[in-house]
Amino acid sequence: MSRASLFIPLSAFVVIVALLYAGFSLNDPHMLPSALVGKPFPAFDLAGLGVDATPPERFTQADIQGRPMLVNVWATWCPTCRAEHAELLRIHNETGLPIIGINYKDDPVKARAWLQQLGNPYEFNIVDADGQLGVDLGVYGAPETFLVDAAGTIVYKRVGDVNRTVWERELKPRVDALLDSRAATEAGAGGSAEPGGGPHG
Amino acid sequence: MIPELGHFALILVFVLALALGLVPLIGAARGNSTWMRAAFSLSAGMAVFAAVAFACLEYAFVTDDFSVRYAATNSNSLLPIYYKVAAVWGAHEGSFLLWILIMTLWTLAVATFSRHLPLTMISRVLAVMGWLTAGFAAFSLFTSNPFDRALPIPPAEGSDLNPLLQDFGLTIHPPMLYVGYVGFSVAFAFALAALMTGRLDAAWARWSRPWTNAAWAFLTTGIALGSWWAYYELGWGGWWFWDPVENASFMPWLMGTALVHSLAVTEKRGAFKSWTVLLAIGTFSLSLLGAFIVRSGVLTSVHAFAVDPERGLFILAFLVIVVGGSLTLYAVRVPLIRSRVHFSGLSREVLLLVNNVVLVVAMSVVLLGTLYPLAYEAITDGGKISVGPPYFNAVFIPLMAVLSLALGIGPSTRWKRTSVMYLVRKLGAVFAASVVIGVALPLVVIGIFKWQVAAGSVLALWIVGTHVEDLWQQSGGRLAGLRRLSAGYLGMTLAHLGFAVTLIGIVITSHLSVERDVRLTNGASTTLGALTFTLLAVDRVSGPNYLADRGTVRVQGQGAAYEMFPEKRRYLSGGNVMTEAAIDAGVTRDVYVAMGEPLDDGGWTLRLHYKPLVRWVWVGALLMALGGVTAVTDVRYRRLRVRRDSAVATAATEPSA
């Protein structure tokens, strides 16, 4: 046995660490692969939350089309949703990007109170009381946020909270790309909402 | 105020650990015995303040202080008091504080019970444990402080402990596992201290052995508890899933088992020294790797309830320093002298070598299967795959068969040289009997032949037979003779018999279990094997913090009739839905009923299992752990025993620096 052979365990360890580090930088646990990216938003027909005591109307997937928008899955029982609420408000106020809420497995009374108390960034809210739409969307847990293009195709999915960093790095570039290509299509084809955005990234 | 006190105590643990890592080492280098002795009081101080910190966090949970963010996310005022206490280690921050507490308690135990060891040795051992504690405390303070406040607006109510964890098994599973993981740091510290002093001898092995056995026994119990918990709580009826987090606890167990055996050779025969050191480093490294895998989210798993890249990076850096540093020390310091111990082709040394090789290969197989998805992802740029049970079973089962064969022979062999004829005379009859009975018995009892069942029975009987034969020989066939046997020998026998019990449990339950998914309306019946199941009613019941649909299922057959009550619970605060399976446990079989989903016509889907000998899997593991504990009580560890010859050897090999 020579001294050099004693370094074999150390070398094996270096390889394992390199692998762990590589896996670590590759694998952002918030970027779970979603079978839904690139697919149309699943079909649904559900009641709205009826904020400000307006009678609840019904919504279908046809309401999630026509322009790029964020679809945010939230609930009052979810502490992270409370944490990300301010950022959603900021995005809505500063960029005017429509945000649709899916109130997921929640108590509608509490949900309405929450929006009155914390402010309402949502254009409208869909009530998914039994989580059926959540199943179709492959929701792991609230909050989750989907970016949907004008054709109603899911472009990107975020598991976990949307914060300033996520907005700047992940969402904003994709939203800008969608808006640019949409402007380009409109200029060329005269304003039809054909799928011009397509999946980015 | 109390949480700040806890935070301050944790900072003191960190400072004391740093001092423990430095002062005795400087003392040992300069031959200053006062500085070396400081290790004892520093160890005690560390443990006291870790206990204070832990008590403060417990206080926050028990008094529902939701201004502590960690309590707010993991507890709830509706939670029963015993779950509030256990909720402290229900998630990452608190379980890491528990880890630190256990680390300091092991350090204190070493400082207390190994006080008679040479001061140069024990002060270095404690110093190594001080470094480790400092690293853990820094991790807790800088990346996952459990005492962080949720200010200025504390939530009025906590968001509740994950319902999966609201369970007796899970309240004691993590502490057991951690006591095992962290316990291997003692063997690691002894190995490092031995490398530093150059004192790699039989005495070193003897000092390490009881600590290693104790840690191994705890880890065995912890793994068994985890498996038992998964079985009754997850509602799938499985007890082992080859999940990355299970593998993370299984790898140190496999290598720790190899270490326990290798230490025996080093103590008794002075052989395998550098190999034993490597196993000691490896076992603790795998414990740390397990922590990295669970905490970093590198591998996605059902268990990964704490996922944070910053924490993962910290643990990775810690891993590099601890494991990289110790392997470098190993490469530089392990003596190159060939050991002058000779043994022939058939001897106890060779059998233990087989044990070591098989266990290390088995560990590598698990490591490969666990890391392969990572490598795959790195190569294919983001592709995700998972390695499943077929791979693990295909490679693991043959290895265990080889191990079982060797395990039967091992205790009957002698050191240095054993003649083949001696073994054939001693064990030939046992071998023949185990083959005949092992094939015939399952055939008679269950009436069908399955080669896997036959092979498993033969191997289990072989292990039991050879050990009983040896026990008979050693005790002279008298009960009084048993008392003369050493605790070490009895512990070994008990652990090996436990292995046989687990083995037969695994084989039988894997190959002879039956299950069915059925739809039943009220009053309807179905059959599974010889049993008839009737759904009598489904009622709404409420527990302290949940509502449940509770089924009443009548089971008839095998000369008995009884009712079982599976539940589907909906927890109030989180809205989580949990399946509480009803289990009728027995020595020969478990009957397992889990509620599925309600049907439109008022009926339910139910999952029914009939699992023969499934309890044996865990009972065997408990026997193994009991064997480990029994071996620790061996009197030879308590005799005063710095042998003159090893002291001379130390003086000769002590480096001059």
Average pLDDT over residues B323-351: 79
Domain annotation covers residue B135? yes
What is the pLDDT at residue A30? 46
Q: Which residues of B touch A24 (CB under 8 A)?
A: 296, 298, 309, 312-313, 316
Domain annotation covers residue B315? no
Q: Do B374 and A14 touch (CB under 8 A)?
A: no
The total domain count for chain B is 2
Average pLDDT over residues B537-548: 86
The total domain count for chain A is 1
Domain annotation covers residue B131? yes
Cα B225 from Cα B231, distance rounded (Å): 10
> Best-predicted range by mean pLDDT among B277-281, B369-373, B375-379?
B277-281
- A2: its two tokens: 């020579």
Domain annotation covers residue B312? no
B89-103, B223-237, B628-642: segment of lowest average pLDDT? B628-642
Cα A144 from Cα A135, distance rounded (Å): 13
What digits encode the pLDDT tens for the residues B51-71?
999 999 999 999 988 889 888
Write the residue in A3, A26, A79 that is nearest to B73 by C-beta.
A79
Question: Looking at B160, B188, B218, which one is the last position of a domain?
Answer: B160
Domain range spanning residue B610?
Answer: 515-614
What is the pLDDT at residue B653? 40
What is the pLDDT at residue A193? 39
> Higher pLDDT residue, B529 or A20?
B529
- What's the CA angle centered on B211, arms B312 and B89, to 5 degrees? 40
Write the residue in B73, B274, B298 that is nearest to A27 by C-beta.
B298
Domain annotation covers residue A30? no
What is the pLDDT at residue B334? 81
Question: Looking at B133, B160, B187, which one is the last position of a domain?
Answer: B160
Domain annotation covers residue A117? yes
Q: Which residue is closest to B385 within chain A, CA to CA?
A: A33
Q: Nearest to residue A51, comparing CAs of A124, A159, A143, A102?
A: A124
What is the pLDDT at residue A140? 65
What is the pLDDT at residue B504? 94
Look over chain B and give the mean of its residue pLDDT values, rounded to a whole number: 85
Contact between residue B288 and residue B322 where contact means Cβ atoms under 8 Å apart:
yes
Q: Do B374 and A20 touch (CB under 8 A)?
A: yes
CATH number of the domain at A151, please: 3.40.30.10
Q: Global pTM?
A: 0.77
Q: Nearest to residue B160, comparing CAs of B92, B71, B89?
A: B71
Cα B152 from Cα B164, distance rounded (Å): 31
Cα B148 from Cα B168, distance rounded (Å): 28
Cα B267 from Cα A140, distance rounded (Å): 52
Domain annotation covers residue A85? yes
3-state class of A6 per DSSP? helix
- Distant-in-sequence, close-in-space partners of B360: CB < 8 Å, separation ≥ 6: B254, B255, B258, B279
A142-146, B552-556, B614-618: segment of lowest average pLDDT? A142-146
Domain annotation covers residue A62? yes
Per-residue pLDDT of chain A (201 residues; tens, 9 = 90+): 577 788 888 888 888 888 777 766 554 444 455 567 778 888 888 888 877 545 567 888 888 888 889 999 988 877 778 878 888 989 988 888 899 999 888 888 888 888 888 888 998 888 888 778 887 887 766 788 899 988 888 888 887 778 888 888 888 888 888 888 777 766 655 444 344 333 333
Domain annotation covers residue A106? yes
Domain annotation covers residue A59? yes
> Best-predicted range by mean pLDDT among B224-228, B350-354, B494-498, B635-639?
B494-498
What is the pLDDT at residue B401? 92
Domain annotation covers residue B105? yes
Is pLDDT at B265 greater than 80 in this prediction?
Answer: yes
> Higher pLDDT residue, B603 or B489?
B489
> Higher pLDDT residue, B161 or A13?
A13
Contact between residue B355 and residue B399 where contact means Cβ atoms under 8 Å apart:
no
Write the residue in B281, B296, B381 that is nearest to A24 by C-beta.
B296
Residue B214 burial by CB count (10 A; 0-12/13-18/19+): exposed, middle or buried? buried
ipTM of the complex: 0.73
Distance from CA of B257 to the nearest CA of A (A): 19
> Higher pLDDT residue, B435 or A184?
B435
Residue B630 burial by CB count (10 A; 0-12/13-18/19+): exposed, middle or buried? buried
Average pLDDT over residues B100-108: 96
Domain annotation covers residue B259? no
Domain annotation covers residue A24? no
What is the pLDDT at residue A196? 38
Q: Do A23 and B298 touch (CB under 8 A)?
A: yes
What sign has the CA pseudo-torsion B20, B22, B23, B29?
Answer: positive
What digits encode the pLDDT tens for the residues B558-587?
888 899 999 888 877 666 777 888 888 888
Q: Do B300 and A26 touch (CB under 8 A)?
A: no
- B393: its two tokens: 């079973």
- Write phi, then psi, for B145 (nearest 5 degrees): -75, 120
Question: Looking at B111, B142, B160, which one is the last position of a domain?
Answer: B160
Domain annotation covers residue B55? yes
Banded pLDDT at B44 (limits 50, 70, 90): very high
Domain range spanning residue A172?
Answer: 45-189
Is pLDDT at B339 greater than 80 in this prediction?
Answer: no
A84-98, B27-41, B459-473, B626-640: segment of lowest average pLDDT? B626-640
What digits encode the pLDDT tens for the residues B13-23?
999 999 999 99
